[in-house]
Structure 1
Amino acid sequence: MNDTAGTGAQGSAADRARWRRYLADERAEAVVYRELAGRRTGEEREILLALAAAEGRHEAHWLRLLGGDETGIPRADLRTRLLGWFARRFGSIFVLALAQQAEGRSPYSTDPDATPAMAADERIHGEVVRGLAARGRRSLAGTFRAAVFGANDGLVSNLALVLGIGATGVPASVVLFTGVAGLLAGALSMGAGEYVSVRSQRELLEASAPDPTAREALIDLDIDANELALVYRARGMDDAEARAQAARMVARVQAAGALAAAPSDALAVVEDDDEAIGTGLSAAVSSFLFFASGALIPVLPWIFGMSGLPATILATVLVSVALVITGATVGVLSGASPVRRALRQLGIGLGAAAVTYALGLAFGTTIA
């Protein structure tokens, strides 16, 4: 650490400006966590308030270096202020995902005036927020996956379809009819496919779940030759752990002399991940609606009477904007770089459209 930092009244002008900036950011981050805590209950609320308290300790460190002088404290950086704005109004998984990224950008690990404990705090805060965000990601994973895939497929497939058909030189009415047909066919196909996929996955998990009637055998099992241990071993426990768990369960049931002493999930070891899968109906509806909304965008120029190259250019621009938005959203919610995800989405979508447009031009020339 800077040798003059401990006096709190020294440090260069650049040092003190940096300390003031850090102080402002720590205060703003503490507000973000308190705002999020105000929208939570129970354990999540306690965790978020503990994070806010930690940011308060960091704030006190920079204030101490400044000798308690709070004059000239700037506003927090734009990212942190935006995060606070979102936290006050939404308090959602989106805000937690942004907070996760913010914690990962901490400069404390390379700053000579930040203590090693502060740098370690920031790294651990990122993992804490990641854990909180993971709860939200699990709850929306199935529906969100269907929504994102549906919108992206609608954008790319229908843009490729209308550009390919339009490039052949057919009348604008044919392009419009083709786009609308592609929208309906794709949306119905996506919805049906998503429903079958999710239902099939749930049925596979249900087939692996313990038979609820098998617990009736617990009261008559031999506690010394406990077959229940084999169940636990088959479900992933090691031998010693399985035997201990089985002995406890059978002893509990037999001591009470009633099956009521055994929990309904007595034969289970891990819970099914149903929440992350979603339901077949919700996934199907999301997939249908988002595919349709995505597929509508490239058709809009023809719906409003445009044709030829102007319609093609406008459709490409509209879809490009939508692809950037969906890609960035996925990046934010996954804790990854939104810019990189947006560019990846844009490149894939425009690449597919370019191929079909080139084929349309080729076929149009051949037909002519």
Structure 2
Amino acid sequence: MPADVPGEPHPQPSRSQIRRWRRYLADERAEAAVYRDLAGRREGEEREILLALAEAEARHEQHWIALLGDEVGPPRRGALRTRALGWLARRFGSVFVLALAQRAEARSPYEADADATAAMAADERIHGEVVRGLAARGRARISGSFRAAVFGANDGLVSNLALVMGIGATGVAPSIILATGIAGLFAGALSMAAGEYVSVRSQRELLAASDPDPRTQRVLPDLDVDANELALVYRARGMDPVEADARARKTIATLRSSDASGEVPVAATHEEVGSATGAALSSFCFFATGALLPVLPYLVGLEGMLAVVVAAAIVGVALLVTGGVVGVLSGGPPHWRALRQLAIGFGAAAVTYALGLAFGATVV
């Protein structure tokens, strides 16, 4: 807001300004409550960061209170999406909620509002990056199993819908379609689980081959400072020669003067890869769940085109949900991811349905 000119009366705000300022005030209070709720489910550094964000939102509250003056009015409820976010934060406090909070910060209107200060607009941008950093920790923790779960669910939905529709289009009996769908469910789920286990296990073994050997730690004090091979370790890991030599000398000197541990890079946990067993179980369960949906109409006795339409509708909803969840957790717009999932799934099913019609007509 432009600075007031000394000696001139403050201009009377319009009714639309007052309504907008009250809305901003309510939203700031709701966002501060979200961060406090999230902090209540965290500990240590993450808790401190979230409480600091809540304090920053409180500073923004004071800006709108000062502008409103006597027009503050009774407390109002924040936007529906902010209140929904608060409800989720109180009950879950997961990376999913942090991803939603990240998107909420990115939607701040302050950059385009003359009544908000440049500092407030900058704060909102920084808040988004802070929440992105917090969410990144959670994304790293779940990335392995989450990738397997999303891939498994989507593959189960698409492959079994395509299989059921392709077989159904040939005109065979509903019992054959059901048997084919169940066989596809178990065959696909077991294949996906085995593939995920081998893939993740192989990836972890490949990465572990590049980790430092912990036994090296014991021989560091015996190294010759002037013929210092430890410097080669640091150079092999990306340091320039001067920095590597200084780091190696400091490490050896520290080890010889005390019982402190050395500074050879420690083995990474490869947390973002996930465990092979966890990925296999996620893939099996989510593929089986996804693959079950297309056969549900046949399990309850539906036949013909009605069964095909119902199966497509059920799978369509599931594809929209999985795509939306991926969009939220990736920090992007969920509706575009949802529509993309739907288009890909229905595209594959349409192709196999057309092939089934062609082969069915040929057989007849």
Same fold (TM over 0.5): yes
Q: TM-score normalised by the shorter chain: which range applies?
A: over 0.9
**Map of 1:268 onto structure 2:** 265
Within 2, Cα distance between the matches of 1:273 and 1:242?
24
Q: Are 1:20 and 1:72, in contact at CA under 8 Å, matched by a contact in 2? A: no
Question: How far has the Cα of 1:90 moved from its partner?
Answer: 1.0
Question: How far has the Cα of 1:255 moved from its partner?
Answer: 2.4
Question: How far has the Cα of 1:273 moved from its partner?
Answer: 5.0
Question: How far has the Cα of 1:252 moved from its partner?
Answer: 1.4
1:236 is matched with which residue: 220, 235, 238? 238
Question: Tell me, what secondary structure is at the counterpart of 1:341?
Answer: helix
**Map of 1:286 onto structure 2:** 282
Within 2, Cα distance between the matches of 1:215 and 1:148?
41
Amino acid at match of 2:162: A
**Map of 1:52 onto structure 2:** 54
Q: Are 1:184 and 1:292, in contact at CA under 8 Å, matched by a contact in 2? A: yes
Within 2, Cα distance between the matches of 1:200 and 1:346?
32
Within 2, Cα distance between the matches of 1:62 and 1:344?
40
Question: How far has the Cα of 1:245 moved from its partner?
Answer: 1.4
**Map of 1:357 onto structure 2:** 353
Cα offsets for 1:45-95 (capped at 9, x unmatched): 110011000000000000100014321553211111111111111111111
1:345 aligns with 2:341: yes
Question: How far has the Cα of 1:29 moved from its partner?
Answer: 0.3
Q: Are 1:23 and 1:59, in contact at CA under 8 Å, matched by a contact in 2? A: yes
Cα offsets for 1:106-156 (capped at 9, x unmatched): 000010000000000000000000000011111111011101100000000
**Map of 2:155 onto structure 1:** 153
**Map of 2:115 onto structure 1:** 113
Question: Tell me, what secondary structure is at the counterpart of 2:323?
Answer: helix
For structure 1, the residue ranges without an aligned partner over 5 or more in a row are none
Q: Are 1:4 and 1:11, in contact at CA under 8 Å, matched by a contact in 2? A: no
Question: Tell me, what secondary structure is at the counterpart of 1:237?
Answer: coil
Percentage of identical aligned residues = 66
Question: Tell me, what secondary structure is at the counterpart of 1:190?
Answer: helix
Within 2, Cα distance between the matches of 1:157 and 1:273?
34
Amino acid at match of 1:261: A
Shifted more, 4-13 versus 194-203: the winner is: 4-13
1:200 aligns with 2:197: no
Question: How far has the Cα of 1:221 moved from its partner?
Answer: 1.1
**Map of 1:18 onto structure 2:** 20
**Map of 1:185 onto structure 2:** 187
Amino acid at match of 2:222: D
Question: Closer, same or farther in 2 for the Cα pair 1:300/1:8, shift >3 Å?
Answer: farther
Q: Are 2:167 and 2:177, in contact at CA under 8 Å, matched by a contact in 1? A: yes
Q: Are 1:99 and 1:129, in contact at CA under 8 Å, matched by a contact in 2? A: yes
Q: Are 1:5 and 1:65, in contact at CA under 8 Å, matched by a contact in 2? A: no
Within 2, Cα distance between the matches of 1:104 and 1:60?
21
**Map of 1:325 onto structure 2:** 321
1:304 is matched with which residue: 275, 278, 300? 300
User: What TM-score do the two structures reach when normalised by structure 1?
Assistant: 0.95
Q: Are 2:85 and 2:97, in contact at CA under 8 Å, matched by a contact in 1? A: yes
Cα offsets for 1:272-318 (capped at 9, x unmatched): 25111110001101100100000000010111111110000000000
Question: Tell me, what secondary structure is at the counterpart of 1:278?
Answer: coil
Q: Are 1:9 and 1:65, in contact at CA under 8 Å, matched by a contact in 2? A: no
Question: Closer, same or farther in 2 for the Cα pair 1:28/1:282, shift >3 Å?
Answer: same
Within 1, Cα distance between the matches of 2:226 and 2:5?
68
1:61 is matched with which residue: 63, 83, 91? 63
CA-based RMSD of the aligned residues comes to: 1.7
Q: How does 1:16-165 map to 2 (within 5 A)?
A: 16-71=18-73, 73-165=75-167
Question: Closer, same or farther in 2 for the Cα pair 1:57/1:39, shift >3 Å?
Answer: same
Within 2, Cα distance between the matches of 1:215 and 1:352?
54
Within 2, Cα distance between the matches of 1:341 and 1:127?
22
Question: How far has the Cα of 1:240 moved from its partner?
Answer: 2.4
Shifted more, 69-78 versus 138-147: the winner is: 69-78
For structure 2, the residue ranges without an aligned partner over 5 or more in a row are none
Amino acid at match of 1:335: G
Cα offsets for 1:190-232 (capped at 9, x unmatched): 0000000000011011111112222333122111221101001
Cα offsets for 1:222-270 (capped at 9, x unmatched): 11221101001101222222112111111112224xxx5334xx4216x
Shifted more, 72-81 versus 340-349: the winner is: 72-81
Q: Are 1:8 and 1:66, in contact at CA under 8 Å, matched by a contact in 2? A: no
Question: How far has the Cα of 1:3 moved from its partner?
Answer: 6.0
Within 2, Cα distance between the matches of 1:120 and 1:342?
31
User: What TM-score do the two structures reach when normalised by structure 2?
Assistant: 0.96
Amino acid at match of 1:291: F
Q: Are 2:145 and 2:279, in contact at CA under 8 Å, matched by a contact in 1? A: yes
Q: Are 1:8 and 1:67, in contact at CA under 8 Å, matched by a contact in 2? A: no
Shifted more, 235-244 versus 125-134: the winner is: 235-244
What is the count of residue pairs matched by the alignment? Answer: 362
Question: Tell me, what secondary structure is at the counterpart of 1:276?
Answer: coil
